[in-house]
């Protein structure tokens, strides 16, 4: 028997497999990794059919010795990727239109043709990187398919849909449905959220191999050993980039990829041949300058080259960077506007001082090829979905299947077919709608036992959406929500708005006075606390409890509306007992790692994290199950505190359901712990405080030491604020914000150290008593023990400390001298270079600006009042830029405001728009604009919107209006009069 089995295994290994490998029409990195995986498959004796539009030389560099018999090319373009106007600029609308023309309109003929072709070549396995329709064609042909990638087009295009409008949303759903037919994804490092895939196998980096040593490369190029090399590899040349000799430090040479034949280069730059084998050259260079692209980025990583990366406005790099940094700590800088101005020298000099920590080792291409080969032979890598032994990955497609009736398997793609006909439906109506009349016809569904909707249209619309939930729903999120609650029990509803950072911003963590306005857009949370025996469990949660043969235990189940626009899974669940270990709550660090392990479900940390914080900080016991529905109209990534609104609404709903008597100030501080300790974003507290304690049409004044509310400032009737979205995604978890925060705390430590030195000198016998007044000694004592940087006045800063700061300092150098920076939510990277001077100066002067702004706002109305207020906003904006937190988009918006302010028409009318500034954590997000409250200002805001669209192709979202904070709104306790009809 054993001999027969061994013979069968030997015969299987000798079998020649046929792989149909579909390659995206976009990106050199796709082609290079496909070439590497294909090489291993061919070396194993298999046949690979490449369906691609990539040039032949990409593949022949890898497999030229055997391609004639084992590698076959088929020239077909089935997706177009992203359309770029130059090497760094993506055109979102053109990308969507191109994909529609390439893959959507001819879809029926594509499927018919590809199905027939796959059958004709007798393919054993279809491999996709990352052509969506190929997965569906494989399913139609009855062939298994696997994707090999680090991102998917539904993830990329969702950003574009947010820019171009919802008309393309059904196309995203179609792409996700196509991916759902894929058996699993072989996931590469630096991955983004990919909720359309329900099973994942992680592999190491897949990069091309080296053929030549660094010495051989230098000899071929005629470059001496003592010359420092930087390779410029953007996949083309960015428009407007004109290379100049002064861009590079002395002794450096720049190797330029993709230069045109007619392009003239300075003497310290050298063109590379168009077919140059870049891996060898990258490995021979001291540093690399390029965009975020899998091929170049991964090769720099694999060959241990420091990488300076250039940011693209219409591309979400953060998920890639967050995950790739787990492998590589040598990504040292991000260049935006500095690219075209050639401010490269400090980046290059800092980069080569660092040593990437990635240790190479395992060949990811070989691992991926082995997985594909075993899959083609029939091995199953897919686990049993309903075994109860593992938590289901509740992804976009599975999110629907999990809500089906027990014992029935509803077809996975069903919800996509109905969704397109319901594009107009939304869980939230526009806040401009007349809410009271809308809800009146549905009021009979609910009895309001506590609270008042206060005439807020969005709250009325949310209650309306609850009244319409039933098991006949076909769209995935309402379907899941309908199965979430026991309609015979009470439900608690809370509302928390986002906020517009008028003044204060990043100075909050330095103890500044801040002025914040709660915006009209808000997050609603509906929560039900219920005994486990009455809880309606999802199929996999129920199976988990059955398999473990335990009595019903408390379970947390969450549904999040709007998941398709946020690249996240629509549902999340866990046993509440998972928050306990050995009778004690798990650590915040363990919880952070748990939620971070799956990017598509990290959003749940903002909601579920509130429970762990209440357990740890207040000793609350959670023995009942909890069901939560989250519906937020606060746009994500725009710097208006979408995360804080979710945290506050969730925390307040839990507190209301459990009868916890928590002041809104304390609730905001607890929410900050959720974000800093569980989500892992080092934010101040002003966002949560505004969402919890703000009031409509007022600015919340707060001194962040840590959170002392000093009053509400009525916005004068002659003044108005707007928020203008730049379209550049923002995150307080991003590298820029954290680095600036670290630099600020470094500066505080240096000030305290210098004050101690001056104090020591003042007490020495050599110093005359006349040289130091007693009051000065007292001031130095206070500054030597300074807790908040904003308690230092600008004149003291200039007189004693302004000259002590370096522009920047390496983390390790700082730690050697000062030991630590005393910030509990950030960690200094010893290899990283941190700006110090500007991040330290900013909060000192920002605190003064905010105080002045508050005084002006409450002063008598005059023409100078608005002009002065606007000037303070401008000063704040440029101080952000000096810290490194500016962006092309926000700078452009501020510049347009200045143009409109100083136009002849505006000045003749006494001025309308008067000032603007970047907000929140910076590096994108929203710009705050101040102006006169008059019709002309509205006209100028519209003109600003159109000018920005013309310049960038992006139509900015406009935030206008205000609404009450969570505390002012209170909470609703409702009960449905009758349960919805079952399907």
Round to whole Å and give the CA distance between 932 and 863: 10
Gap between the Cα atoms of 255 and 832, Å rounded: 25
d(CA 154, CA 161): 10
For residues 230 and 285, the answer to whether their CB atoms sit within 8 Å is yes
* Residue 374 to residue 368: CA distance in whole angstroms: 10
* Tokens at 866, concatenated: 């608005």
Burial class (CB in 10 A: 0-12, 13-18, 19+), 137: buried
Extract the tokens encoding 250.
Answer: 């002395």
Closest CA to 204 of 359, 362, 331: 362
Sign (positive or negative) of CA dihedral 270, 274, 280, 286: positive
Tokens representing 572?
């999340």
In terms of Cα–Cα distance, which of 283, 252, 259, 271 is closest to 347?
A: 252
How far is residue 966's CA from residue 421's CA, in Å, rounded to a whole number?
Answer: 35
Which residue in 617, 604, 602 sits closest to 670, CA to CA?
A: 617
* Residue carrying the six token digits 């506050």: 648
d(CA 538, CA 394): 11
Catalytic residue among 159, 687, 823, 829: 687
**Six-digit token pair at 345?**
């020298």
3-state SS assignment for residue 27: coil
Q: In sequence order, which residues have a C-beta less than 8 Å from that of residue 965 and are 6 or more positions away? A: 496, 497, 518, 664, 690, 691, 692, 693, 694, 695, 700
Q: Which of 680, 672, 682 is nearest to 589 (CA)?
A: 680
Cβ pair 930, 915 in contact under 8 A: yes
Determine the Cα–Cα distance for residues 689 and 52; give it in Å rounded to an integer: 53
132, two tokens:
């969506």
Q: Angle 93-99-103 (CA atoms, 0-180°, nearest 5)?
A: 160
Active site residue 226: no
**Whole-angstrom distance, CA of residue 909 vs CA of residue 903:** 10
966: nearest Cα among 712, 525, 652? 652
Catalytic residues: 687
């Amino acid at each position: 028997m054993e001999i027969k089995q061994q013979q069968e295994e030997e015969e299987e290994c000798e079998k020649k497999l046929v792989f149909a490998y579909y390659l995206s029409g976009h990106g050199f990195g796709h082609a290079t990794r496909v070439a590497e995986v294909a090489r291993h498959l061919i070396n194993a004796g298999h046949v690979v059919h490449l369906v691609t539009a990539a040039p032949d030389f990409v593949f022949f560099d890898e497999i030229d010795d055997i391609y004639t018999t084992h590698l076959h090319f088929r020239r077909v373009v089935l997706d177009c990727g992203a359309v770029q106007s130059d090497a760094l600029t993506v055109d979102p609308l053109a990308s969507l239109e191109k994909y529609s023309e390439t893959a959507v309109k001819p879809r029926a003929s594509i499927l018919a043709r590809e199905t027939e072709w796959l059958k004709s070549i007798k393919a054993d396995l279809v491999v996709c990187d990352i052509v969506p329709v190929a997965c569906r064609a494989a399913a139609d042909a009855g062939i298994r398919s696997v994707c090999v990638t680090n991102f998917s087009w539904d993830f990329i295009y969702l950003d574009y849909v947010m820019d171009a409008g919802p008309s393309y949303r059904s196309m995203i759903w179609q792409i996700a449905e196509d991916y759902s037919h894929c058996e699993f994804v072989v996931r590469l490092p630096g991955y983004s959220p990919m909720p359309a895939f329900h099973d994942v196998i992680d592999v190491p980096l897949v990069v091309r191999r080296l053929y030549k040593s660094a010495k051989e490369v230098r000899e071929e190029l005629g470059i001496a050993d003592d010359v420092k090399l930087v390779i410029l590899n953007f996949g083309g040349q960015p428009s407007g980039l004109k290379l100049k000799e002064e861009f590079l430090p002395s002794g450096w040479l720049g190797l330029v990829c993709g230069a045109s034949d007619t392009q003239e280069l300075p003497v310290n730059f050298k063109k590379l041949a168009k077919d140059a084998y870049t891996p060898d050259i990258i490995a021979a260079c001291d540093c690399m300058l390029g965009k975020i692209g899998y091929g170049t980025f991964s090769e720099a990583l694999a060959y241990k080259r420091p990488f300076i990366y250039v940011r693209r406005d219409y591309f979400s790099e953060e998920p890639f960077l967050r995950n790739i940094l787990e492998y590589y700590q040598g990504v040292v800088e991000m260049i935006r506007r500095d690219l075209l101005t050639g401010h490269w020298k400090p980046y290059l000099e800092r980069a080569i001082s660092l040593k990437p920590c990635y240790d190479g080792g395992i060949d990811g291409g070989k691992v991926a090829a082995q997985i594909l080969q075993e899959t083609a032979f029939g091995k199953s890598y897919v686990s049993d979905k309903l075994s109860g032994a593992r938590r289901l990955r509740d992804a976009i497609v599975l999110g629907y299947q999990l809500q089906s009736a027990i014992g029935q398997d509803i077809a996975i793609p069903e919800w996509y077919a109905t969704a397109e006909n319901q594009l107009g439906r939304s869980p939230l109506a526009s806040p401009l709608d007349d809410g009271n009349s809308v809800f009146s016809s549905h009021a009979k569904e609910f009895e309001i036992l506590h609270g008042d909707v206060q005439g807020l249209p969005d709250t009325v619309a949310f209650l309306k959406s609850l009244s319409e939930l039933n098991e006949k729903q076909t769209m995935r999120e309402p379907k899941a929500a309908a199965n979430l609650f026991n309609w015979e029990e009470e439900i608690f509803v809370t509302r928390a708005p986002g906020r517009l950072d008028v003044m204060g911003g990043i100075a909050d963590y330095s103890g500044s006075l801040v002025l914040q306005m709660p915006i009209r857009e808000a997050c609603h949370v509906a929560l039900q606390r219920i005994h486990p025996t009455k809880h309606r469990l999802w199929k996999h949660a129920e199976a988990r409890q059955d398999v473990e043969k335990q009595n019903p235990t408390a379970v947390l189940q969450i549904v999040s509306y709007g998941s398709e626009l946020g690249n996240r899974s629509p549902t999340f669940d866990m046993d509440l007992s998972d928050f306990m270990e050995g009778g004690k709550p798990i650590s915040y660090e363990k919880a952070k790692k748990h939620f971070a392990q799956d990017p598509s479900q990290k959003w749940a940390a903002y909601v579920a994290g509130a429970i762990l914080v209440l357990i740890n900080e207040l000793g609350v016991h959670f023995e009942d199950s909890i069901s939560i529905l989250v519906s937020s109209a606060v746009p994500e990534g725009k710097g208006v505190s979408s995360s804080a609104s979710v945290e506050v609404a969730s925390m307040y709903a839990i507190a209301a359901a459990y009868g916890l008597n928590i002041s809104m100030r304390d609730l905001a501080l607890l929410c900050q712990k959720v974000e800093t300790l569980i989500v892992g974003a080092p934010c101040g507290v002003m966002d949560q405080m505004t969402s919890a304690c703000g009031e409509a049409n007022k600015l919340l004044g707060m001194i962040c030491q840590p959170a002392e509310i000093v009053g509400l400032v009525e916005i004068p009737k002659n003044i108005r604020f707007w928020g203008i979205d730049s379209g550049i995604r923002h995150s307080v978890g991003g590298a820029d914000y954290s680095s600036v925060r670290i630099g600020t705390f470094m500066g505080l430590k240096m000030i305290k150290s210098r004050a101690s030195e001056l104090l020591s000198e003042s007490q020495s016998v050599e110093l005359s008593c006349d040289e130091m007044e007693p009051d000065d000694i007292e001031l130095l004592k206070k500054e030597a023990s300074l807790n908040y940087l904003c308690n230092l006045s600008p004149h003291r800063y200039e007189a004693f400390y302004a000259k002590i700061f370096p522009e920047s300092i390496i983390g390790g150098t700082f730690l050697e001298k000062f030991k630590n920076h005393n910030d509990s939510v950030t960690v200094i990277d010893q290899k990283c270079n941190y700006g110090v001077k500007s991040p330290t100066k900013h909060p000192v002067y920002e605190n003064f600006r905010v105080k002045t702004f508050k005084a002006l706002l409450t002063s008598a109305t005059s023409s100078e009042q608005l002009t002065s207020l606007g000037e303070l906003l401008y000063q704040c904006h440029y101080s952000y830029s000096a810290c490194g937190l500016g962006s092309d988009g926000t700078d452009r918006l501020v510049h347009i405001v200045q143009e409109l302010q100083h136009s002849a028409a505006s000045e003749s009318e006494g001025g309308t728009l008067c000032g603007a500034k970047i907000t929140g954590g910076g590096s994108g997000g929203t710009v705050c604009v101040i102006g006169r409250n008059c019709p002309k200002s509205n006209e100028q805001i519209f003109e600003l919107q159109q000018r920005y669209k013309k310049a960038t192709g992006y139509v900015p979202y406009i935030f206008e209006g205000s609404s009450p904070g969570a505390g002012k709104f209170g909470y609703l306790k409702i009960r449905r009069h009758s349960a919805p009809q079952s399907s």
